[in-house]
Amino acid sequence: MRLNNLLAQGKTAIVKKWFVSAIDTYPSDTAKFLKRQKDPFANPVGRTIYRGLEALFDQLLEDMDDEAITSFLDPIIRIRAIQNFSPSQATSFIFFLKDVIREHTQKEVSEARLFNELLLFESKIDRLSLIAFNLYMQCREKIYELKANEMKNRTFRAFERAGLVSEIPADTPDLVNINICKEASNDT
């Protein structure tokens, strides 16, 4: 039996354990809610994470299309990027899949000598983590950019209210096109 076949057969159990491992990175109260609440409208974060993990697992079983992977990872990483996770915490859930797979396939991998296939599969997981890290950094950069712009806007509005700056009215004379020499000669 090939490793991919073994993993495809155990997909539901593997994805559920991976989901629980990913959710356990949240504070305990949040993790309990995300695990228990099955209503997708009451728990959009849990639903997004579960669906993303399921689709990512399918991609790992296939040839790994980078665009598809990015589209499935992006919502998960966006959620984690705004929740004060460090980069390692935000992407660590990907590595948890290795433990879940080893636990789920330990006996079969040993008996059928599928160690090389397992190592190849784990290298796909490593590649997935690099894509996740890049996405996380892009999200954090965007967040910092938004914060910086907001701070500039607040500062400008505060200066404006204090009368320290003002916008230039549209009907002011154009100082660039005034010929100073001609104006000076008319005065004499």
**Separation between Cα atoms, residue 60 and residue 56, nearest integer Å:** 6
Is the confidence at residue 157, as pLDDT, over 90?
A: no
Tell me the pLDDT tens digit for each residue of 15-63: 999 999 999 999 889 888 888 888 888 889 999 999 999 999 999 999 8
167: left (phi over 0), alpha (psi -120 to 50) or beta: beta
Number of domains in the chain: 1
**Is 154 inside a domain boundary?**
yes
Domain that holds residue 58: 3-161
The count of other CB atoms within 10 Å of the CB of residue 75 is 16
pLDDT for the residue 186: 61
Tell me the pLDDT tens digit for each residue of 87-146: 999 999 999 999 999 999 999 888 888 999 999 999 999 999 999 999 999 999 999 899
**Separation between Cα atoms, residue 129 and residue 96, nearest integer Å:** 11
**Is 185 inside a domain boundary?**
no
**Is 186 inside a domain boundary?**
no
**Is 51 inside a domain boundary?**
yes
**Is 179 inside a domain boundary?**
no
